[in-house]
């Protein structure tokens, strides 16, 4: 077992850290305040190869491994978790399923512009009545000659307002109500009507919108993978995506810890630095230990995915744990900063608002526990109740 990053992984981590410190950190508070999606940043990240880190070189990506990609998400999220989720959904949820399941034509046409950041990707699974119970989705795709006509509404779609490519899930078999009648489609911007931009607690530099598909016709070659195999595409995609959200959570927690540590070493009360008080020392010790554990779970899941090993349970464990750590560490960082932590003068209140959603999207913590329980009890059938609502 080797815990050291290799030269390539360290190089990509340093590149992401440098660009995050120079081009994201100085603007993150303003983007949050102004709810601004920094569209110009993604062209820049594309130039640097950071919009397709783990996409093969022959498809226009940087050709690095999945752990390198996770390191990039961690660094970007440490600077601005809204940027982190934009890149995570674009890569894990929109680009990688095309790499994994796409036809030669789909891969050749769509993956290079996605990997270069010329096209932004979105993943449209969730609907108003179908969140945690993703298999109950109601959007329909009805056969029409050689193609399909798609009708429905998708909700809380990350990147929707800026995306040029949507991996969208629709029911192609109206005789089934569950996961088995679902197929995946690759839609363009013009197929989709953005109906509403969401207002959120945090992640204000990211875009989350509702979209409508109003009887849009797509030819048969827009189907991704086989008919009625869409749910498998969605679940396999989320297996990797959840590792990315765990990395985002680690990045947020690291940023909150760094701020709390620096503040504790500066702030003086009762004649001492507050870092000299055991109450603060113990808080920082707990934060640092939890972040290490979350990071190790995340890197293990990434390593397993890269090695082609099963990673469903490991990814769910990483997301479950890291998201809890992000919320706990961000909350405790506010406590270390006291009144200053509650103000916009310091970034820890933003970290706290941003952290919360890591316990919700790409499967709530309750869904992660179901996935883990199924894995450890080897129950692959739907035998456990689904709780929690995305």
Which residues participate in catalysis according to the annotation? 362
Q: Is 229 exposed, middle or buried (0-12, 13-18, 19+ CB in 10 A)?
A: middle
Contact track, ligand CAA, 66-105, x by CB under 6 A = -------------------x---x---x------------
Structure tokens at 216: 């849009």
Our finding on whether 290 is near ligand CAA (CB under 6 A) is no
- Tell me the C-alpha distance between 264 and 280, whole Å: 8
Of 225 and 261, which CB lies nearer to ligand CAA in the complex structure?
Answer: 225
Q: Which stretches does DSSP call E strand in the chain?
A: 121-124, 140-144, 147-158, 165-171, 182-188, 193-197, 208-218, 223-224, 268-269, 272-273
Q: Distance from CA of residue 128 to its chain's centroid?
A: 20
Answer yes or no: are the C-beta atoms of 150 and 190 closer than 8 Å. no
Binding mask 22-61 for ligand CAA (x = CB under 6 A): ----------------------------------------
Asked if 180 touches ligand CAA (CB under 6 A), the answer is: yes
Binding flags for ligand CAA, 204-233, as an x/- string (CB under 6 A): ---------------------------xx-
Residues shown for the chain:
390
Place of tokens 């509404």: 153
Kindly tell me which of 346 and 361 has the beta carbon lying closer to ligand CAA: 361
Interface residue with ligand CAA among 38, 82, 135, 347 (CB under 6 A) is 135
CA 390 – CA 388 distance, rounded (Å):
7
Which of the stretches 66-74, 96-104, 268-276, 359-367 binds ligand CAA when contact is defined by CB under 6 A?
Answer: 359-367
In the complex, which residues of this chain contact ligand CAA (CB under 6 A)?
85, 89, 93, 123, 125-126, 132-135, 158, 179-180, 231-232, 235-236, 238-239, 312, 361-363, 367, 370-371, 382, 386, 390
């Amino acid at each position: 077992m080797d815990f050291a990053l290799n030269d390539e992984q360290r190089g990509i981590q340093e590149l992401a850290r440098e660009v995050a410190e120079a081009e994201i950190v100085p603007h993150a508070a303003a983007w949050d305040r102004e709810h601004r999606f920094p569209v110009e940043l993604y062209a820049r990240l594309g130039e640097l190869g950071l919009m397709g880190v783990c996409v093969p070189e022959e498809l226009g990506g940087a050709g690095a491994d999945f752990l390198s990609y996770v390191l990039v998400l961690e660094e970007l999220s440490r600077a601005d978790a809204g940027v982190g989720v934009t890149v995570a959904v674009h890569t894990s949820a929109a680009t990688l399923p095309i790499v994994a399941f796409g036809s030669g034509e789909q891969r050749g046409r769509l993956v290079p512009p996605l990997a270069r950041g010329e096209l932004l990707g979105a993943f449209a699974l969730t609907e108003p009545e179908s969140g945690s119970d993703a298999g109950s989705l109601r959007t329909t795709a009805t056969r029409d000659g050689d193609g399909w006509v798609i009708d429905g509404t998708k909700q809380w779609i990350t990147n929707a307002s800026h995306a040029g490519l949507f991996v969208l899930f629709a029911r192609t078999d109206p005789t089934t109500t569950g996961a088995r009648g679902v197929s995946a489609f690759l839609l363009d911007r013009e197929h989709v009507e953005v109906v509403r931009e969401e207002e959120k607690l945090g992640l204000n530099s990211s875009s989350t919108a509702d979209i409508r598909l109003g009887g849009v016709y797509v030819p048969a070659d827009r189907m991704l993978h086989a008919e009625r195999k869409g749910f498998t595409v969605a679940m396999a995609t989320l297996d990797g995506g959840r590792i990315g959200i765990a990395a985002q959570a680690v990045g947020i927690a690291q940023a909150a810890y760094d701020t709390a540590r620096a503040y504790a070493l500066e702030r003086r009360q009762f004649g001492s630095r507050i870092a000299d008080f055991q109450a603060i020392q113990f808080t920082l010790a707990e934060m640092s230990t939890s972040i290490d554990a979350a990071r190790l779970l995340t890197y293990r899941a990434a390593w397993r995915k890269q090695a082609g090993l099963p990673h469903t349970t490991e990814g769910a464990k990483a997301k479950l744990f890291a998201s809890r750590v992000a919320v706990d560490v961000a909350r405790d960082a506010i406590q270390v900063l006291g009144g200053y932590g509650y103000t916009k003068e310091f970034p820890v209140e933003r970290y706290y608002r941003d952290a919360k959603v890591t316990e919700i999207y790409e499967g709530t913590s309750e869904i992660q526990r179901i996935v883990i329980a199924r894995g450890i009890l080897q129950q692959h059938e739907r035998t456990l109740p689904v709780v929690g609502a995305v």
